[in-house]
């Protein structure tokens, strides 16, 4: 694992930390590859029951490392292949976003500071966002003459509605933590000094929960976003049959009857 992305697994919770504080966790190629691989590792590891995605320093992630991008763009332009620099979308941004959104376990974003561009996109792709009161979000793409990537065209309208999403993409601006809460982007806003503790507590609660049920909830939400009611009802039936046959469902029912707290096994 690269030093630019830290990975720690403790009691079912994988904490993935962007670690380029001096560059506000800007995404150079090394960081994008390391983040993609860390997320894939967490998604495939049966010992991982929840993921916390967070960062060091005063920013969550400001998106593309423009210093590296400018150098790569200049080289590609000399070869007459300027647009090919954006292969990073296919090679990095798309796989990272899919790894977050399609992982069969919940992902919490602990947003400690500004989240811009792809950094905002990765936070939007998470299942829940715990946001420091000093943090902010901005789409930023149009400001550098680019369109949305990292799934923002899909995730943002589902968080704030299509009209507001168009406004935020066409006229990029800083969205404060409080406004993010009002818009539905933030799940909760906490004092900056408490962000690490609060985000970890939320993620740990999920890591101790019914992992298979969470996976089914994620799958049903993604499915219903592109299907009608009848098809979504059929998908709910399919997923509920699967959940009803799980060990965790049996544990939960038995605990309910005994008036005890269930201790889920993630199966």
Q: So what's the pLDDT on residue 261?
A: 86
Instruction: Answer whether residue 209 shows pLDDT above 70.
Output: yes
Does pLDDT of 111 surpass 60? Answer: yes
Nearest-angstrom CA–CA distance, 117 and 146: 10
State the pLDDT confidence band at 103, using cuts at 50, 70 and 90.
very high
**pLDDT score, position 171:** 96
Give bridge partners of residue 137 from the DSSP assignment. Answer: 115, 175
Domain ranges across the chain: 5-207, 211-258
What does the alpha-carbon distance between residue 127 and residue 125 come to, in Å, rounded to a whole number?
A: 7
Q: Name residues whose C-beta falls within 8 Å of residue 187's C-beta, 6 or more positions apart in sequence.
A: 128, 129, 130, 131, 202
Q: How far, in Å, CA of 76 to CA of 159, rounded?
A: 36
Report the pLDDT value the prediction gives residue 82, as an integer from 0 to 100.
54
Look over the chain and give the mean of its residue pLDDT values, rounded to a whole number: 93
Distances in Å between the Cα of 61 and the Cα atoms of 54, 65, 116, 182, 258 are 9, 10, 6, 22, 46
Residue 40 has pLDDT above 80, yes or no: yes
Q: How confident is the model at residue 114 (pLDDT cuts 50, 70, 90)?
A: very high
Q: Is residue 128 scored above 70 in pLDDT?
A: yes
Token output for 107 = 């992902």
So what's the pLDDT on residue 118? Answer: 97
The yes-or-no verdict on residue 20 having pLDDT over 80 is yes
pLDDT at 172 over 70: yes
Measured between alpha carbons, how far is residue 166 from residues 63, 163, 171, 235 in Å? 19, 5, 8, 30
Count of other CB atoms within 10 angstroms of residue 100? 27
pLDDT at 2 over 90: no
- How confident is the model over 139-144, as a mean pLDDT? 93
DSSP string, 40-69: HHHHH-TT--EEEEEESTTEEE-SB-HHHH
% of the chain residues with pLDDT over 70 = 95
pTM: 0.91
* CA dist., res. 238 & res. 258, Å (int): 29
Rg (CA), the chain: 19
Structure tokens at 214: 């969470």
Query: Residue 79: what pLDDT?
Result: 66
Extract the tokens encoding 66: 């423009």
| DSSP-derived pairing of the beta strands 5-10 and 13-18 | antiparallel
Taking 60 as the threshold, does the pLDDT of residue 191 lie above it? Answer: yes
CATH class of 211-258: mainly alpha
Instruction: Give the pLDDT confidence of 49-93 residue by residue, as tens digits.
Output: 999 999 999 999 999 987 887 777 776 676 665 556 678 899 999
Average pLDDT (185-195) is 98
Domains 5-207 and 211-258 share a fold: no
Query: 219-236, pLDDT tens digit by residue?
Result: 999 999 999 999 999 999
Check residue 80 and give its pLDDT: 62
266 falls in which pLDDT band (50, 70, 90)?
confident
Q: Which of 36-45, 61-70, 147-156 has the lowest mean pLDDT?
A: 61-70
Q: pLDDT tens digit string along 235-261?
A: 999 999 999 999 899 999 888 898 888
Distance CA 251, CA 111 (A): 34
Question: For the domain 5-207, what is the CATH code?
Answer: 3.90.226.10
């Amino acid at each position: 694992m690269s030093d630019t992305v830290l990975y720690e697994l403790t009691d079912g919770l994988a904490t993935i930390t962007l670690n380029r504080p001096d560059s506000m966790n800007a995404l150079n190629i090394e960081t994008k590859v390391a983040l993609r691989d860390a997320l894939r590792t967490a998604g495939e590891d049966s010992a991982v029951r929840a993921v916390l995605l967070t960062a060091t320093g005063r920013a969550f992630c400001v998106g593309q490392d423009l210093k590296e991008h400018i150098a790569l763009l200049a080289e590609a332009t000399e070869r007459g292949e300027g647009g090919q620099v954006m292969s990073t979308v296919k090679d990095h941004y798309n796989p990272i976003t899919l790894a977050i959104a399609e992982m069969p376990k919940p992902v919490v974003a602990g947003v400690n500071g500004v989240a811009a561009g792809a950094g905002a996109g990765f936070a939007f792709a998470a299942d829940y966002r715990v946001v420091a009161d000093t943090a902010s979000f901005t789409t930023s793409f149009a400001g550098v003459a680019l369109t949305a990537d990292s799934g923002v065209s899909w995730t943002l309208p589902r968080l704030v509605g299509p009209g507001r999403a168009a406004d935020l993409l066409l006229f990029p601006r800083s969205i404060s933590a409080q406004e993010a809460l009002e818009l539905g982007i933030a799940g909760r806003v906490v004092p900056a000094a408490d962000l690490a503790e609060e985000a970890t507590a939320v993620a740990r609660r999920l890591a101790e929960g019914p992992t298979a049920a969470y996976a089914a909830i994620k799958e049903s939400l993604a499915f219903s976003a592109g299907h009608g009611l009848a098809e979504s009802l059929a998908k709910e039936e399919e997923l509920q049959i699967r959940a009803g046959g799980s060990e965790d469902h049996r544990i939960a029912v038995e605990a309910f009857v005994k008036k005890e707290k269930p201790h889920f096994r993630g199966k």
